[in-house]
Structure 1
């Protein structure tokens, strides 16, 4: 389920955002475990899209998914960890065209169910950032929905 965009402290000034919520069976799930589970195993078609993205953006001097791996920072998948706790993990980076954060929140609702939120926040700095987000947004939505659905299936299979 996609929730409306709201200001978020993980990236003040974000001008593009989306948020998806997934209910999972009651468990000891932490945000760190959820983030590793969702972002460490991309399907082949997503890996191919990321390679295409890296090839297409390289000539513009944008950071590739591989450049994030070479910086020595702690990461989940290829995303550098900005902050982490049991309830929330913030991943992301700043580039010349935009600043980007992925926020994974794990919480309980009033009925005691476990909820996982995956929020993407972007602050577009220049025209290239606006063009980039316009081009990748449909793929981004498909990837996030697929990753959450796969994560939800694995969580239900365990319980």
Structure 2
């Protein structure tokens, strides 16, 4: 049985790379939980998280990919498509599942996916807070057109559930 942890909504981590990308964004959120592997790099923790993604999220992503093609958007695949379990071989510019690595450090990995309707950036940030290791998963979205607004109106509630479920199983 998987142990579930408490997940809290929180502001984007102060001083993080993802926080610096917030200006002009139309959507942003961040959730945090206890980091059970504080010795891992941010990217290794991300790989661990997506390796444990609940099956229902794969189903939702597959449905999303089919539906967006009807309006001319690209299917993305799955969060962990083609990922390796070891973070050491990844560099900025490499693809990790559906995202491209934009920033890579031991404490934070920022990944993104750009399309004509919006740009999405996701960050996994690790820090110590009050003597406890914390893992924060933040998202920033810059929307370019009405299709992007419509897309986010539909996707945002699912996004929040998926992020919480992923962190709970991390």
The TM-score normalised by the length of structure 1 is 0.82
CA contact (8 A) 1:98 1:126 kept: yes
Paired residues, what number? 148
1:135 is the counterpart of 2:146:
no
Give the whole-Å Cα distance in 1 for the aligned partners of 2:35 and 2:46.
Answer: 14
Other-structure match for 2:45: 34
Q: In the TM superposition, what whole-angstrom CA distance separates every residue of 1:49-87 from its partner, at most 9, and x where no partner exists?
A: 1010011001222121139979xx523332221121101
Other-structure match for 1:123: 142
1:3 is the counterpart of 2:14:
no
Distance verdict in 2 for CA 1:67–1:142, change over 3 Å: closer
3-state SS in 2 of match to 1:33: helix
1:113 is the counterpart of 2:132:
yes
Distance verdict in 2 for CA 1:9–1:44, change over 3 Å: same
- Which of 75, 99, 110 is matched with 2:119 structurally? 99
Other-structure match for 1:81: 101
Structure 1 stretch displaced more, 10-19 or 114-123: 10-19
1:11 Cα deviation from its structure 2 partner? 5.2
Give the whole-Å Cα distance in 1 for the aligned partners of 2:27 and 2:40.
Answer: 28
3-state SS in 1 of match to 2:116: coil
Unaligned runs of 5+ in 2: 1-7, 83-92
Give the whole-Å Cα distance in 1 for the aligned partners of 2:104 and 2:21.
Answer: 11
CA contact (8 A) 2:41 2:107 kept: yes
Q: What is the RMSD computed on CA atoms of the aligned residues?
A: 2.5
CA contact (8 A) 1:39 1:76 kept: no
1:12 Cα deviation from its structure 2 partner? 4.0
The TM-score normalised by the length of structure 2 is 0.77
Distance verdict in 2 for CA 1:29–1:93, change over 3 Å: same
Q: Which has the higher helix share?
A: 1
Give the whole-Å Cα distance in 1 for the aligned partners of 2:62 and 2:36.
Answer: 34
